Amino acid sequence: MPEITVQLYSVRDLAKQDYEATIRAIAEIGFPCVEPAGYPGSTPEAASKLFKELGLRAPSCHGGLPVGENKNRIIEEALMMGHEAVITGCPPNFRENYTSLDRVRALAELYCEAAENAAPHGIQIGYHNHDWDLAEVEGQRGYRVFLDNTPESVLWEADIFWVARAGLDPAEFIREIGPRGKFLHFKDGVVGGGENFRELETADGKIMVSDAKPFLPAGRGQVDMLAAAKAATHATYIGVELDSYPGDMMEAVAESYRYLTEQGIATGRK
């Protein structure tokens, strides 16, 4: 059974206020693993020490690609944190990569370069999707062109909320990506609510935001988690993530943990 992890972007606002207390609360819920996306209110060094104290592992992170002048810094930080994979929360240049098939192929080439740089260190490179990168580009699904132009060692962290929002079936999508689906995000919410998402530039890069909050704890939304879980035969880690939530975020994370572990979708420490 896959281990449960949590994308720490979910608790970014709490972490900015008190990073250590936030991570201790995550550990207390029962998570054996976490997936950092930057270290708001902390540093990689301090976080690494805290994770070790709490018995937490960070098999993956959301970060930049180890290419160009950032190559060594990203790889060294990944090694310090014990990452098995560095996964991009959004690709470089965001939606611009999906304006033509040539741009998708160029993006795939960049991920191949990153993977070649990381492989000697035992680190894989991965891609986390939204809905816009699953749309058609010049009559073809952009993600399929990306997959066709990268080796299976380049992972695809399927976010099944965004897969469903793109009009695709999450279970079928997970089967399609096959061995690339080592890390998955079991995000839930109101898929057909009609919310408009927009780009927002942050210190860590561009993110998708909405004035609405369609995201819900796992098991309370419209995404068929059980069907997706049956398809996730290659998954080693299944992640909790909520981009936003109108209520208590830590309780939403805890509720997601309980659902995914009680349903036998992933295993935790409690």
Query: Residue 210 CB: number of other CB atoms within 10 A?
Result: 15
Tell me, yes or no, if the pTM score tops 0.85.
yes
Quote the mean pLDDT of the chain. Answer: 93
Q: Which of 10-19, 118-127, 212-221, 250-259 has the lowest mean pLDDT?
A: 212-221
Mind listing the pLDDT tens digit for each residue in 69-97? 999 999 999 999 999 999 999 888 888 89
Per-residue pLDDT tens over the stretch 216-251: 999 999 999 999 999 999 999 999 999 989 899 999
Beta bridge partners of 159: 185
pLDDT at 194: 59
In the chain, what are the domain boundaries?
Answer: 3-262
- Listed in sequence order, the residues at least 6 apart from 200 whose beta carbon sits closer than 8 Å to its beta carbon are 206, 207, 208, 209
Asked whether the beta carbons of 265 and 31 are under 8 A apart, the reply is no
At 93 the pLDDT is 83
**CATH of span 3-262:** 3.20.20.150
Q: Backbone dihedral region of 219: left (phi > 0), alpha (psi from -120 to 50 degrees) or beta?
A: left
More confident: 50 or 192 = 50
Q: Could you tell me if 93 and 73 are in contact, meaning their C-beta atoms sit under 8 angstroms apart?
A: no
Among 7-11, 174-178, 194-198, 249-253, the minimum mean pLDDT is found in: 194-198
Burial 231-256 (b: 16+ CB within 10 A, else e): bbebbbbbbbbbbbbeeebbebbbbb
d(C-alpha 135, C-alpha 133), whole Å? 6
Q: Look-up: residue for tokens 């993956």?
A: 60
DSSP codes joined into one string, the chain: -PEEEEBGGGGHHHHHH-HHHHHHHHHHHT-SB-B-SS-TTS-HHHHHHHHHHHT-B--EEE---S-GGGHHHHHHHHHHHT-SEEEESS-TTGGGGGSSHHHHHHHHHHHHHHHHHHGGGT-EEEEE--SGGGSEETTEEHHHHHHHTS-TTSEEEEEHHHHHHTT--HHHHHHHHGGGTTEEE--EE-TTS-PPPEEEEETTEEEEE-SS--EE-TTSSSS-HHHHHHH-TT-SEEEE--S--SS-HHHHHHHHHHHHHHTTSSB---
CA distance 66 to 111: 9
Q: Above 90 in pLDDT, residue 123?
A: yes
Amino acid 50: pLDDT: 98
pLDDT score for 144: 96
Q: What is residue 270's predicted lDDT score, i.e. its pLDDT?
A: 86
204 has a pLDDT exceeding 80: no
124 half-sphere exposure, CB direction, 13 A CA radius: 19
At residue 211, the pLDDT reads 57
On the question of pLDDT at 208 being above 80, the answer is: no
Its sign, for the CA torsion 13, 19, 23, 28, is negative
pLDDT band at 24 (very low <50, low <70, confident <90, very high): very high
